[in-house]
Amino acid sequence: MQVKFSVITTILWVGLLLPSPGWAQESQAASQGDLVIPESYITRMRQEGPVLEVTLKEAVRLALVNNLEIAIENYNEDLNQEQIIKTRGFYDPTYSLSFGWSSSESPTTSSLQAGGAITVNNTDRFSFDNHLLQNVAGGGILDISFINSRNLTNSQFSFINPRYNSTFNVAFTQPLWRGFRKTDTERQIELFNLDSDINETQFEQRVSEIVQQVQDQYWELAYAVEANETQRQSVVLAAIQYENNRKRVEIGVMAPIEITASQAEIARREQEMIQSEVQIIIAQNALKRLLASDSGASIWNVVLIPTDVPQIEDVLISLEESIRTALERRPELEQIQLQMEQNEINRSYYQKNGKPRLNVRGNFGSNGASGQVFDPMGESVPDDPRFGNFTRAWTQVFTFEFPVWGVFLDLQIPLRNRSNKADVATALIRERQLLSTLKNQEQMIIVEVRNAYESLATRRKSLEAATVASRLSREQLEGETKRFEAGLSTNFEVLRFQRDLAQSQVSELRALVDYQLSVTALQKALFTIVEETDIVLAKGSEN
C-alpha cells in the first residue's frame, strides 16, 4: 500500500486557496497583494543550479559502483588471490646453471703424490653443472642433475689427462608418513581458498550494510526535504493569517497589535524553515559520501533530490520464520563455519606432522669419463675407448654405459615434540572457541531479528497514531478558523493550532520514515536486503 503524505492541507480564507503539496510536491512562488508565498526548496534548487533526481534503486546502484569501502573489499580479494598464486609458486620448477674455473697448487710431500721429481702438484679445473629441481604435489622432490668437468693435472700418475667427467642423475624423494600428501604448502593453499570464501561472505555482508546505509540516508534526505516543505507551508498559513488580520484592521474589526503578532509568527516560522535546510544539507552530504568515489566526484557539485515515496508494506513472514531465515542466510555465521573448516585443516595437519618422518629415496643415472689416454710408458693411446673429450663422455652417459642407481629408506623419530603438541592443543582450543563464537553470534542475530521484527509492529502503530493525530489537528484548525471568522476565537489561538498542525504533520513524516527504516532493518537482519533492492551483485563488476 503506497501512502503519500499530505504535508499540509491549508485552510485558507479571504478567497485564497492553495493546493496541498503531497510528498515533496512543488509550489511556485506567488503573491496576493502584500502576501508573498515562499518557493519550495526543490524549486529553488532547480533554479539555482544543477540537480540530480535519483530513485532509491539508482542511489543503491551508484553506491555499489562507486563506494570506496566496496573497492577496499575487492582489493582484499585481489590480495588473497595473489597469496594463493604465491603459495602455488612452491611447485614452480627451478633450473640452475653453474660455470666455473679453478686452479690449485700444492707442494708434493711424497713421490706417490705427483710422481718423479715434481715438487709442486698443479690441477686446473673447468666445470659446468645443470640442476632442475621440482617440488611435486604430495610432498615429493624431483632433482635432475647433469654435471660436467674438465681436469688437467701435472701428476704423472694420471693416465687420462686432461680428463672429461660427466654425470647424469635423477633423484626422487617421497615422504611416506609425515608430509605425505598433506604438505604445509597444500595446507596453506586450502586455507587461502577458504580465505577467499570468507572474503566473499565479508563482501556480501559489507554490501548489505552499505545498501542499508544508503536506504536509511535516502529516506533521511527525503524526510528532511519534506519536513522543510512542511515548514514552508506553515509559513504560508502564517502569511495568510497576517493578510487576513491586516484587512480586518483596515476595516476596524481587529486591533493593530494582532498584525504585529502575525508578523512575529511569520518571522519565527521562516527561521524554522531556514534552519530545517541545515538538516537537508547534512543528510545530502551523508548520502553523497556513500555515492561518491572520491572527494572530487561530480556528484558533490549537484543537489540530490529523492523522488521515491516511502511505502507501507505488510510483513508476511512470522517471527519464527524470520529467525530461521536469518540463521540460514546470515554471512556472519558462514564466516565462522569457514573458520572452523580452516581450524580443522590445521588440526589434521598438526596431528600428522607429529608423526615420525619416513622417506623413500631413489636415484638412477650414469657416469662418463674420457680424455687424453696414455699408456704406462707415457705414450698416447688414441684407440682407447675412453679417448676423446666431452662428446665421448656424454655418449657414455646417455647410453648408460656406466649406470648408477640406489634405493634408500630414511627414518627420523622425534623423541620429544613439544612444539607440535602445542600446535595440536591450540587447534583444539580454537575449535571450542569458534563453537562458542558461533553460538554467541546466533544469539546476537536472533536478538537483532526480534528487535527489528517487533520494532516494525510498534512503528506501524506509531504511524497510525501519528496519522490520526495529524488528521485531528487539521480538523481542529478548520474548526478554530471558522470560530475565528465568526468572532469566537482569537488570532493567537488560530496561530497555535497552525503550529500544532505543522508539528503533527512533521511527526507523521517522521513516523513514516521510521517505519521505512524498520523495514530496511528487518531486511538487513534477514539478509534479504540486496534481493529486495533487485540488485544482481558480482565482485569487481559494475551493477
Asked if residue 451 has pLDDT above 90, the reply is: yes
pLDDT in tens, 323-364: 999 999 999 999 999 999 999 999 999 988 888 889 999 999
pLDDT at 486: 72
d(CA 487, CA 353): 98
Element (H, E) at 403: strand 403-412
* Separation of CA 491 from chain center: 60
pLDDT at 6: 34
Helix/strand/coil for 152: strand
pLDDT in tens, 100-157: 999 988 887 666 665 666 778 788 899 999 999 999 888 899 999 999 999 988 877 7
d(CA 310, CA 220): 11
Q: Is 199 in contact with 77 (CB distance < 8 Å)?
A: yes
d(CA 371, CA 270): 110
Domain assignment present for residue 485? The answer is: no
Domain assignment present for residue 250? The answer is: no
pLDDT at 24: 37
For 244, the grid coordinates are 487576513
pLDDT at 539: 52
Asked if residue 4 has pLDDT above 50, the reply is: no
| Backbone torsions φ then ψ of 413, nearest 5 degrees | -110, 120
Domain assignment present for residue 147? The answer is: yes
Query: Between helices 41-48 and 184-250, what is the axis angle to 10°?
Result: 110
Higher pLDDT, 79 or 95: 95
Average pLDDT estimate for 478-484 = 80
Asked if residue 11 has pLDDT above 50, the reply is: no
Helix/strand/coil for 2: strand
pLDDT at 536: 52
pLDDT at 35: 55
Q: Determine the longest span between alpha carbons in the chain, in angstroms.
A: 153
pLDDT at 115: 65
pLDDT in tens, 272-319: 888 888 999 999 999 998 888 777 888 899 999 999 888 887 778 899
Higher pLDDT, 491 or 219: 219
Q: Which of 123, 130, 74, 136 is nearest to 99 (CA)?
A: 130
In 170-256, alpha helices (H): 184-250
Of all residues in the chain, the percent with pLDDT exceeding 70 is: 89
pLDDT at 477: 82
Domain assignment present for residue 400? The answer is: yes
Average pLDDT estimate for 465-490 = 82
Question: How confident is residue 20, by pLDDT bands cut at 50, 70 and 90?
Answer: very low
pLDDT in tens, 384-430: 788 888 889 999 999 999 999 999 999 988 888 899 899 999 999 99
- Answer yes or no: pTM beyond 0.85: no
Which residue type, as a one-letter code, is found at position 53? E
Q: Which of 498, 535, 516, 407 is nearest to 456 (CA)?
A: 516
Asked which of 28-42, 193-207, 397-411 is least confident by mean pLDDT, the reply is 28-42
Average pLDDT estimate for 256-262 = 82
pLDDT at 18: 34
Q: Report the alpha-carbon angle 481-486-492, nearest 5.
A: 50
Residue 363, domain extent: 95-181+357-416
Q: What is the CA radius of gyration of the chain?
A: 44
pLDDT at 425: 95
Domain assignment present for residue 123? The answer is: yes
User: In Å, what is the CA distance from 366 to each residue of 151, 363, 398, 400?
Assistant: 19, 10, 7, 5
Domain assignment present for residue 366? The answer is: yes
| Backbone torsions φ then ψ of 380, nearest 5 degrees | -70, 140
Average pLDDT estimate for 453-462 = 90
Q: Is 350 in contact with 191 (CB distance < 8 Å)?
A: no
pLDDT at 260: 84
d(CA 424, CA 174): 25
Across the chain, mean pLDDT equals 83
d(CA 539, CA 42): 36
Count of structural domains, the chain: 1
pLDDT at 5: 35
Q: Is 20 in contact with 7 (CB distance < 8 Å)?
A: yes
Average pLDDT estimate for 492-510 = 82
pLDDT at 15: 31
Find all residues with CB under 8 Å of 16, minimum gap 6, and list them. Answer: 32, 35, 240, 243
pLDDT at 106: 82
pLDDT at 177: 86
Question: What counts of helices (H) and strands (E) characterise the chain?
Answer: 12, 10
d(CA 404, CA 393): 15
Whether omega for the bond prior to residue 38 falls within 30 degrees of 0, making it cis, is no
